[in-house]
Structure 1
Amino acid sequence: MRAIATKIADLFIFEQRVFGDDRGFFFESFNEKKFAELTGKDVKFVQDNHSRSMRGVLRGLHYQVQRPQGKLVRVVEGEVFDVAVDIRKNSATFGQWVGVNLSAQNKRQLWVPAGFAHGFVTLSESAEFLYKTTDYWMPEFERSILWNDPQLGIDWPITDVPLVSEKDKVGKKFVDAEFFASSVESVGNFRFGKFAKYMI
């Protein structure tokens, strides 16, 4: 496993060492010790999620204003364009985003720390998307930022209007969203975020 730094601190792309022959392949998709060494973060994952999406489905941009989740994401079938947006108000890269193609073929993973909004769009006929989270899904705390907000200017690699859930269709504009007012803090095994609504 090796970590590739992105333009946003704490946000990493992981590439795995794959062992393959004519029988198939093997790789270690997660190693807690190596993850801590590469990121400098000691995290505990408490939930694994698995979704399937058809071509053109766009999910996001999601985050939780309390009990924020760090996510380690990967694709095991097909390909997606995966996006993370820094919504930590005191961050030097506040409002900036990183996008990366994740596929079953390249076997890349993206580490999205707590304090980011996250989303992806399916580029292949279908895609199966797996992610580990550092806290549990809490629907009462979940928020959505509009995927196509012009202030963010995310360069989604699509030409047609994507398929978006009813919930995401009414996501907030970035200017009206709730942001994390400071870095996310850890208390025991749970992650709590200080957040507030800011006008930009």
Structure 2
Amino acid sequence: MILEQTDINDVILITPRVYKDERGYFMESYNQKKVDKLIKDKFVQDNESLSNKNVLRGLHLQVPPYAQAKLIRVIKGSILDVAVDLRQSSSTFGKHFKHMLSGENKKQLYIPKGFAHGFLSLEDGTILNYKCSDYYHAESESSIIWNDPDLSIDWGILDPILAEKDRLAENFATFENPF
């Protein structure tokens, strides 16, 4: 497993070793001992979603005390994955990191607590799996609008398929930031 610090504080890109042969492939998708140097979170819940092409989910977060760190990976298909730093004391506050994750490249993205997360599905039938460091708590769910002008995220799409809650999400400037 190769762990790379990104240009956003504490966001880590993980590339697993994949062993391929005529039968298929094998990889270790997660090993706590190997990631312990950079990732201190323990994960308690796994989630999976299926999205078709041009579905955009996010930018989602849970506020304290139910804030979640996440470890994102794509099983099938591909996504443009985005993490926005909401930690007001961070030197990368308000900045974002984006990367293409796919079933083919098998890369994973670790996003610590204090971030908003979103992704754009680049293919029909994309299956995303992610680990969370805390349990889902509906009353702690919040979101920031995907196309916020202050965040300037280039999603590469002007009219994605959105859930109603993502259409009605808050602006970054008016979001009551608990981080």
TM-score computed with the length of structure 1 as normaliser: 0.87
The equivalent of 1:97 in structure 2 is 96
Report how many aligned residue pairs link the two structures: 178
Alignment identity in percent? 47
Q: Distance in 2 between matches of 1:86 and 1:178?
A: 14
Q: Distance in 2 between matches of 1:19 and 1:153?
A: 38
- CA shift at 1:65, angstroms? 1.1
RMSD value, Cα: 0.9
- CA shift at 1:124, angstroms? 1.1
The equivalent of 1:191 in structure 2 is none
Deviations 1:156-178 (A, max 9, x none): 022x4001100111100000112
- CA shift at 1:96, angstroms? 0.1
Deviations 1:112-144 (A, max 9, x none): 000000000001122000000000011101001
- CA shift at 1:107, angstroms? 0.2
Q: Distance in 2 between matches of 1:15 and 1:44?
A: 19
The equivalent of 2:106 in structure 1 is 107
Q: What amino acid sits opposite 2:54 in the alignment? A: G
Three-state SS of the structure 1 residue aligned to 2:36 is helix
What 5-or-longer segments of structure 1 have no aligned partner?
182-200
The equivalent of 1:81 in structure 2 is 80
Q: Distance in 1 between matches of 2:172 and 2:125?
A: 29
Deviations 1:95-116 (A, max 9, x none): 0000000000000000000000
For residues 50-65 of structure 1, the aligned pairs below 5 Å read 50-65=48-63
- CA shift at 1:9, angstroms? 1.4
Instruction: Give the 4+ runs in structure 1 shifted more than 6 A.
Output: none
